[in-house]
Structure 1
Amino acid sequence: MYSTLNVDIRPGEGLGIFDIGASLWTILDRLRDLHHMFPQVDVKYDPDTSAITPIIVHVRPHLDLLFSGRSQRLHTISVRRLRDPNPPVMLRYNDTVISSTEEVLRRVVVNRTFGPTYPGDELRYPGLWFSFEDDSIAEGIQGTPAVDREQEVKRVFISQKGNDGKGEDALGEVKECAAMEGDISRAIVKIYDGVVLNFYGSSKSLHVRLGETRAQDLSMELGPPARIHYKEDERMSIHSSKKHGDAADDRGYFYNYFHHGIDFLISDSTHIVKKVILHTNIPGTPLFQRYKRCSWEIEGSPEDDEDDTPPRKRFYERFETISHFLDPHGTPTSMLLDRTDDEDNLTLPSSATRLYGYDGIILEVTESSQVVCVMLF
């Protein structure tokens, strides 16, 4: 027996537990915890440009969640198959049931509940609209001047006010909102130095410096890490210039901030940050959904002393562009990495990535030239 999906509509803000502006990582993590309620979830994306193109999460049979391409924020919620009883869905607005398996949502009910709006084939309100077409997110069929008061609503859409499916913002980025507060808005990577973290809802920033910032500083500024992981994988030490006996003395431990998309490697002797890893959360890669997307920007040197806007390359740019920015003289030799070697039950269309090392920074890159993560050391 299926339980009823009983959700409230919040125009411009969300539907039930789904908040407009919430991150893809947060929503998928929530769906995983509620697997008994949402057993069928599909993620659809463009494998060649998944760092910059929208992502659709189908929560079958009733919900389609559209996430913006660059920030991976919930942009639009679509509710469909309102009469499907497997499981039944109940929509409420201001504690009043407007749609259920027994209560058919019709044009007259919408008009009575939400008031008058501009004429058209869809009933549109700020942050909310109702469609009479089954499977189209676009404009409805143009034409019929006569209005049927008993016309049945087939789809309900919730989005930010202004991002309502009309105009240039239909697939644009989500404006800053309450659901983003406390998240990292951007991480400015400074090679040889560290990373500057900026946050939504705050004018303050956090400068994490390599060789200076302590584990205690991270806990005070970012809160306790989601996990502390002691470094055991020493396979990369074979490429180190240090003597073999020194490698074991320099293992350290990771502070994993999955909800910020960042790892910090900390010395186990000094408890000072010695490496920073920033994750892009690209669908189809082995690390997808382990970390929230961190919107990193690699900062270069100013062109002159008076230049207060140094050049930057961002997470969504192609590897070739970022590589030329880091080293105009050529691309370094890469190493092949397959993160599924230790995962017997994980199969991906393209699991292998390549590691490209530059002075002070390493890029992990997919076959489609998308940068999976950046490591500062």
Structure 2
Amino acid sequence: MISALDCDLRPGSGLGIFELGSSLWNTLDLLRRLQHAFPHADIKYDQDASSTTPIVVHIRPHLDLLFSGKQQRLHTIVLRKLRHGDPPVTLRYKDTVLSSPDNVLKRVSVSRTFGPTYPPPGDDLRADLRYPGVWFSFEEDGMGDGLKGIQSEDRMHEVKRVIVSQKELDGEDRDALGEPVECPVMDGDISSAIVKVHEGVDLYFHPVSTAQPVNIRLGETTAQDLTIDLGPPSRVHYKEDDRMTIHSATRPTDSSEAAYFYNYFQHGLDFLLSSNHVVTKIVLHSNIPGSPLFQRYKRCNWEIESTPEDDEDDTPPRKRFYDRFETISHFLSPRDPPPSMLLDRTDDEEAMTLPSATTRLHGYDGIILEVSESSQVVAVMLF
């Protein structure tokens, strides 16, 4: 463990190594690579709505990172226990040391560094100081209720928490559970993936205003196309598991005709390529907390698109990753859901134990849904 936590404050942008707008997948991967500096991290979420729940990553003892529910993007950073806990904290702003083991951050110090600011509407007795992109609180937890009635002109109040969020452009408070606005750290990430059954997927990237979609087509797109459009894969995995061929109505192909996967963990995508290097299957992952594949893949914000009901309809109907299985199933087929297969991804992971380790595979014409016990679709496969 490091002997001290030294971090720079960037209002509206980030704190230390953490950048607002970063994905949950990238952040947890960063923490995994820096276990010597951050050995204790807890992930908290609502198990009843894990596909859309905001996620809090608590890095003991000083940091709370709040990620948005749908895009899984870093929304808010909270730095607490400035004067307590191990390791000690040094907080800097530009060339100024705001807080350290030898410097107590007080109200007067904040005012000297950042200047005057407006009081929160209706809370003129509160001691909190809010500036664009950063908020200084004078109590350990809560939103300042314990300080009501204490006159805000007490210059010696000690800062207990520092909260960093994106700056407001319209003067209104940002939704604490909303989505971060698009920012440079998102550039190159997939903003949405439009799934078209029997065809393929259209990938849209950040920045949304300038990027052209990448069209991946079943039976047409080649391995070379993927490398040109998406870059080299994170991993190339040769398909060795042929257990599903027992359910095939046709005779299994010769195993010498090796198929292989291109794994793009950073995009939440897998592509199965045939022996002649053409895409035959596409897998899109939802990265749902508590599922066996959580954090192996970044969340892919997929939407299944159907044909418009009439020629004048410019907005084809879609179902999204956070819709419940029953809703998506009826969208794909109005009849009763097809028979399902039980899948336990922990069968090959003896050390892994999860409260909901099993999922079910529901097959439709051209598409398979992998569904959790709580009716959340954890992955989509096109074939």
1:207 counterpart residue number: 215
In the TM superposition, what are the counterparts of 1:305-320 in structure 2 within 5 Å?
305-320=311-326
Alpha-carbon distance, 1:3 to partner: 1.7
1:253 counterpart residue number: 260
CA distance in 2, matches of 1:68, 1:16: 20
Which of 191, 194, 209 does residue 188 from structure 1 map onto? 194
1:276 counterpart residue number: 282
CA distance in 1, matches of 2:170, 2:51: 23
Alpha-carbon distance, 1:143 to partner: 2.8
Relative to structure 1, the CA distance from residue 346 to residue 227 in structure 2 (aligned partners, 3 Å threshold; closer, same or farther) is same
CA distance in 1, matches of 2:78, 2:202: 37
CA distance in 2, matches of 1:203, 1:12: 25
In the TM superposition, what are the counterparts of 1:279-358 in structure 2 within 5 Å?
279-358=285-364
| Structure 2 contact 62–85 (Cα < 8 Å) conserved | no
| Structure 2 contact 91–97 (Cα < 8 Å) conserved | yes
Alpha-carbon distance, 1:248 to partner: 2.4
CA distance in 1, matches of 2:146, 2:64: 18
CA distance in 2, matches of 1:314, 1:7: 38
SS of corresponding position for 2:175: coil
Alpha-carbon distance, 1:148 to partner: 1.1
1:12 counterpart residue number: 12
Alignment-mate amino acid for residue 318 of structure 1: R
| Structure 2 contact 62–81 (Cα < 8 Å) conserved | yes
Q: Which runs of 5+ in 1 are unaligned?
A: none
CA distance in 1, matches of 2:257, 2:150: 73
CA distance in 2, matches of 1:235, 1:263: 19
2:238 counterpart residue number: 230
| Structure 2 contact 108–156 (Cα < 8 Å) conserved | yes
1:373 counterpart residue number: 379
2:272 counterpart residue number: 265
Alignment-mate amino acid for residue 240 of structure 1: S
In the TM superposition, what are the counterparts of 1:18-33 in structure 2 within 5 Å?
18-33=18-33
Alpha-carbon distance, 1:145 to partner: 3.1
SS of corresponding position for 1:22: coil
| Structure 1 contact 228–254 (Cα < 8 Å) conserved | yes
CA distance in 2, matches of 1:5, 1:156: 15
Identity, in percent, stands at 65
Relative to structure 1, the CA distance from residue 163 to residue 350 in structure 2 (aligned partners, 3 Å threshold; closer, same or farther) is farther
1:159 counterpart residue number: 165
Alignment-mate amino acid for residue 248 of structure 1: S
Relative to structure 1, the CA distance from residue 233 to residue 313 in structure 2 (aligned partners, 3 Å threshold; closer, same or farther) is same
1:136 counterpart residue number: 142
| Structure 2 contact 137–144 (Cα < 8 Å) conserved | no
SS of corresponding position for 1:362: strand
Alpha-carbon distance, 1:287 to partner: 0.2
| Structure 2 contact 305–319 (Cα < 8 Å) conserved | yes
TM-score normalised to structure 2 length: 0.95
CA distance in 1, matches of 2:341, 2:265: 26
SS of corresponding position for 1:237: helix
Alpha-carbon distance, 1:356 to partner: 0.3
| Structure 1 contact 265–273 (Cα < 8 Å) conserved | yes
Alignment-mate amino acid for residue 200 of structure 1: H
Q: Which runs of 5+ in 2 are unaligned?
A: none
Alignment-mate amino acid for residue 241 of structure 1: A
SS of corresponding position for 2:353: coil
CA distance in 2, matches of 1:221, 1:31: 29
CA distance in 2, matches of 1:140, 1:205: 51
Taking only aligned residues, the RMSD between alpha carbons, in angstroms, comes to: 1.7
1:360 counterpart residue number: 366
